[in-house]
């Protein structure tokens, strides 16, 4: 299921290969966020052309809209959105965290009013797994409670303990309904299936480590979740407002207790330098809305930091967003033209920056994989991080 291909001798960086029901994921890997069954502003075909290996869908949002009956009618999320590759579904724990004023957490589960029309709903660990089975995702996340920042020690401890109890219930529930519906997406029905069917027939389940910013709680949570023996392990409750140092420490506290033969996933991260720093700390998978969200504000990623293409300095710029970039935007359009589109509120401008930003993140992961195999990752990381100028927009709460 997970093969460790090579390791970096100067850090904890790993090069791996994760096999799922809908394909193989080469790690380290970035997961574009398709919360509502769509990566904003791009099509599944464009994602394939960008060499995206896996995308993320969100259990909470898809449960609320369009609803499970609709997705079941279309034969699962792959067929519904015409995506042939692997899908990871977040259990909705982070969204429940963000609905603090609309929800009540108990041992049994979470009562909440959905953000669309205020209709009351109730999600238990068992229901969260049932929803993800209906969605047909390749990787399902357990239901967890994402503790806020800041929070006191006692609350963080109780929350982490409950997350462990919920994780046990999730695993038991999934074991009863783990066979996936492997019908091909609509696009693959129109032509030959490009890849042989994977030997993996079931939905993989990842446990989630919590513990807020407390080192001992992170260690205890990691040990407890690993004892439940999941297919992979995520570090949750990061990037919720804590300083970057606290984010790194949360990973450093948990990582030594995570098995080397299972994939590791940092949820909701992060800026390009953060991804490389997390890889150096032994993390294999990441998701983040920054590439698509910042694109909709006119912000593009480059190897030396972000640039805001709304700025007047780019009005007459004949160069691409980034020199030597192979993305569709940089191959065909200038900064000056893209700035014009953004200022004129033309949708194409947002799409072009989104394509560039996603390409940038995916290409960064490809380079990281290559450098780990060559033995040059640590130098690559240091060179990139030292050249990258972090701007305030990078650290916007996402």
Distance between CA atoms of residues 86 and 180, nearest Å: 12
- Using a 10 angstrom Cβ sphere, with 0-12 exposed, 13-18 middle and 19 or more buried, the burial of residue 191 is exposed
With both helix axes pointing from N to C terminus, report the angle between 377-387 and 272-280 in degrees, rounded to the nearest 10: 150
154 is catalytic: no
| Catalytic choice (144, 231, 287, 394) | 287
Secondary structure class of 298 (helix, strand, coil): coil
Sign of the C-alpha dihedral computed for residues 244, 245, 249 and 252 taken in this order: positive
Catalytic residue (choose from 90, 138, 144, 231): 90
Decide if 261 is catalytic: no
Alpha helices in 176-307 (DSSP H): 186-189, 215-227, 244-254, 272-280, 290-295
H or E, element range at 175: helix 153-175
Report CA Rg, the chain. 20
Query: Can you name the residues that pair with 301 across neighbouring β-strands?
Result: 306
Helices 335-343 and 347-374: crossing angle, nearest 10°?
Answer: 130
| Two structure tokens written together for 119 | 């209709």
Q: Reduced to 3 states, what is the DSSP secondary structure of residue 268?
A: coil
Please return the burial class of 4, using the count of CB atoms within 10 Å of its CB with bins 0-12, 13-18 and 19+. middle
As a whole number of angstroms, the distance between CA 329 and CA 333 comes to 6
CB-based burial label for 339 (10 Å; 0-12, 13-18, 19+): buried
DSSP state of 249: H
Is residue 206 classed as helix, strand or coil in its secondary structure?
Answer: strand
Torsion angle, CA of 325/327/329/331, rounded to 10 degrees?
60
Catalytic residues: 90, 287
């Amino acid at each position: 299921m997970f093969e460790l291909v090579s390791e970096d001798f100067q850090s904890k960086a790993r090069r791996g290969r994760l096999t799922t029901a809908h394909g193989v994921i080469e790690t380290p890997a970035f997961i574009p966020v398709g919360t509502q069954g769509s990566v904003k502003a791009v099509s599944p075909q464009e994602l394939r052309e960008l060499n995206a290996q896996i995308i993320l869908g969100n259990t909470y949002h898809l449960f609320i809209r369009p609803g499970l009956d609709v997705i079941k009618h279309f034969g699962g999320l792959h067929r519904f959105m015409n995506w042939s590759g692997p899908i990871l579904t977040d259990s909705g724990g982070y969204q429940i965290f963000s609905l603090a004023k609309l929800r009540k957490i108990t041992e049994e589960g979470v009562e909440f009013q959905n953000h669309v029309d205020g209709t009351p709903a109730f999600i238990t660990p068992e229901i969260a797994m049932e929803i993800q089975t209906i969605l047909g995702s390749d990787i399902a996340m357990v239901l967890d409670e994402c503790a806020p920042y800041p929070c006191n020690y006692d609350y963080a401890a109780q929350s982490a303990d409950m997350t462990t109890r919920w994780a046990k219930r999730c695993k038991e529930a999934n074991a009863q309904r783990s066979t996936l519906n492997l019908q091909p997406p609509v696009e693959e029905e129109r032509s030959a299936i490009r890849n042989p069917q994977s030997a993996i027939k079931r939905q993989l389940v990842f446990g989630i480590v919590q513990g807020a910013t407390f080192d001992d709680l992170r260690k205890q949570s990691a040990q407890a979740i690993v004892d439940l023996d999941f297919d992979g392990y995520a570090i949750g409750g990061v990037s919720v407002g804590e300083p970057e140092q606290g984010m790194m420490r949360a990973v450093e506290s948990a990582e030594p207790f995570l098995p080397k033969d299972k994939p590791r996933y940092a949820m909701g991260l992060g800026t390009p330098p953060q991804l490389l720093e997390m890889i150096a700390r032994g993390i294999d998978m990441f998701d983040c809305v920054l590439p698509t969200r910042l694109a909709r504000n006119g912000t593009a990623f480059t190897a030396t930091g972000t640039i805001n293409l709304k700025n007047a300095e780019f009005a007459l710029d004949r160069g691409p967003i980034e020199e030597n970039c192979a993305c569709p935007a940089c191959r065909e359009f200038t900064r000056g033209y893209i700035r014009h589109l953004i200022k004129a509120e033309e949708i194409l401008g947002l799409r072009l920056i989104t394509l560039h930003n996603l390409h940038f993140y995916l290409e960064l992961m490809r380079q990281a994989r290559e450098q780990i195999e060559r033995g040059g990752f640590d130098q690559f990381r240091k060179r990139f991080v030292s050249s990258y100028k972090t701007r305030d927009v990078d650290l916007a709460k996402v």
